[in-house]
């Protein structure tokens, strides 16, 4: 029995607006996808034999596979690592489709699957360990999350309203939502492999359409009526979506101590 991680990196990053696909955009001189894979490897380091990280599968845009191999190779991450094999596969047109493509290549003995966004490049190792630990403790689906700190209001959107679009007319408030029960969900999300396979099989029909695809894997599990559990996330696991997010991540990275262990990965 072992653990595998799917690192979703096949998005274009339209909101970041970088010339490269977002996962190849540099953060402190290193591509986001390299940071993300290193973070998962670090979280799995020193695990018990049953939690050995057997496989990391990176999903990349179908027309950019050589660049992803090259970026990972340059960081010493392509091919077999100490105890982890790393593969790059073509992702899908949605995040859900990309995760399905990663799941399809996992070997049969993997019984725990982490799904992690390359865009959450700086997730701390403790978060990774917490998620694996909660799955091993018997929760079939586990997400790291943070409490919401802003006041949250639901607004009435017109049919043609693009989310986030600026509009001098504004939007009417429908209600203020009780935020005590709300959580902002991060990755890696951890799953019993059988449950994640079943959730993706049930959601397969929606994987090609961004309008109806699930925005996270736990959502597919919820649609099966199966429980999902929340553990503590971390601010450093914030999703890098906009240039501002990338600038903040640069500050977080600059504030971290240099790697001490001579790790050449």
Ligand X SMILES: C[C@](O)(CO)[C@H](O)COP(=O)(O)O
Ligand Y SMILES: Nc1ccn([C@@H]2O[C@H](COP(=O)(O)OP(=O)(O)OP(=O)(O)O)[C@@H](O)[C@H]2O)c(=O)n1
Q: Does 9 bind ligand Y (CB under 6 A)?
A: yes
Q: How many residues bind ligand X (CB under 6 A)?
A: 8
**What angle (nearest 5°) sits at the alpha carbon of residue 187, between those of residues 165 and 80?**
125
| Partner from ligand Y, ligand X, none binding residue 30, C-beta < 5-8 Å depending on class | none
**Residues in 233-252 that interact with ligand Y by CB under 6 A:** 239, 241
Using the rule CB under 6 A, which residue among 185, 230, 231, 252 binds ligand X?
185
| Partner from ligand Y, ligand X, none binding residue 187, C-beta < 5-8 Å depending on class | ligand X
The distance of closest approach from Cβ of residue 43 to ligand Y in the complex, given in angstroms and rounded to an integer, is 17
| Partner from ligand Y, ligand X, none binding residue 15, C-beta < 5-8 Å depending on class | ligand Y
Q: Does 239 bind ligand X (CB under 6 A)?
A: yes
Q: Does 242 bind ligand X (CB under 6 A)?
A: no
Binding range to ligand X, per CB under 6 A, among 52-60, 67-75, 184-192, 196-204: 184-192
Binding range to ligand Y, per CB under 6 A, among 41-49, 105-113, 115-123, 256-264: 115-123
Binding range to ligand Y, per CB under 6 A, among 3-11, 122-130, 136-144, 146-154: 3-11
The 3 state secondary structure assigned to the chain is CEEEEEEECCCCCCCCCCCCCHHHCEECCEEHHHHHHHHHHHHHCCCCHHHCEEEEEEEECHHHHHHHHHHHHHCCCCEECCCCEEEEEECCCCHHHHHHHHHCCCCCCEEEEEEEECCCCCCCHHHHHHHHHHHHCCCCEEEEEEECCCCEEEECCCCCCCCCCCCCCCCCEEEEECHHHCEEECCCEEEEHHHHHHHHHHHHHHCCCCCCCCCCHHHHHHHCCCCCEEEECCHHHCCCCCHHHHHHHHHHHHCCCCCCCCCCC
**Residues in 68-127 that interact with ligand X by CB under 6 A:** 95, 117
Using the rule CB under 6 A, which residue among 193, 216, 233, 249 binds ligand X?
216
Using the rule CB under 6 A, which residue among 84, 94, 186, 189 binds ligand Y?
94
Rounded distance, CA 84 to CA 56, Å? 7
Binding site for ligand Y (CB under 6 A): 8-15, 22-23, 59, 91-95, 98, 117-119, 239, 241
């Amino acid at each position: 029995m072992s653990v595998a991680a799917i690192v979703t990196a096949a998005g274009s990053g339209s909101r970041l607006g970088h010339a490269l696909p977002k996962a190849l955009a540099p953060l402190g001189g290193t591509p986001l996808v390299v940071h993300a894979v290193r973070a998962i490897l670090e979280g799995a380091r020193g695990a018990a034999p049953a939690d050995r990280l057997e496989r990391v599968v990176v999903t990349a845009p179908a027309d950019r596979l050589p660049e992803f191999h090259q970026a990972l190779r340059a960081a010493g991450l392509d091919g077999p690592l100490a105890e982890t094999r790393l593969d790059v596969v073509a992702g899908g047109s949605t995040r859900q489709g990309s995760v399905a493509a990663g799941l399809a290549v996992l070997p049969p003995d993997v019984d725990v699957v982490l799904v992690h966004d390359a865009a959450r490049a700086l997730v701390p190792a403790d978060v990774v360990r917490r998620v694996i630990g909660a799955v091993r403790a018997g929760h079939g689906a586990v997400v790291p999350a943070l409490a919401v700190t802003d006041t949250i209001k639901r607004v009435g959107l017109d049919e043609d309203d693009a989310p986030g679009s600026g509009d001098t007319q504004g939007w009417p408030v429908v209600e203020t939502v009780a935020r005590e029960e709300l959580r902002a969900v991060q990755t890696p999300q951890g799953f019993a492999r059988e449950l994640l396979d079943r959730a993706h099989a049930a959601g397969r029909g929606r994987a090609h359409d961004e309008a109806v695809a699930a925005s996270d894997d736990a959502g597919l599990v919820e649609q099966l009526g199966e429980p999902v559990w929340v553990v503590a996330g971390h601010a450093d696991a914030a999703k890098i979506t906009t240039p501002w997010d990338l600038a903040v991540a640069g500050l977080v990275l600059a504030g971290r101590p240099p790697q001490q262990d001579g790790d050449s990965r």
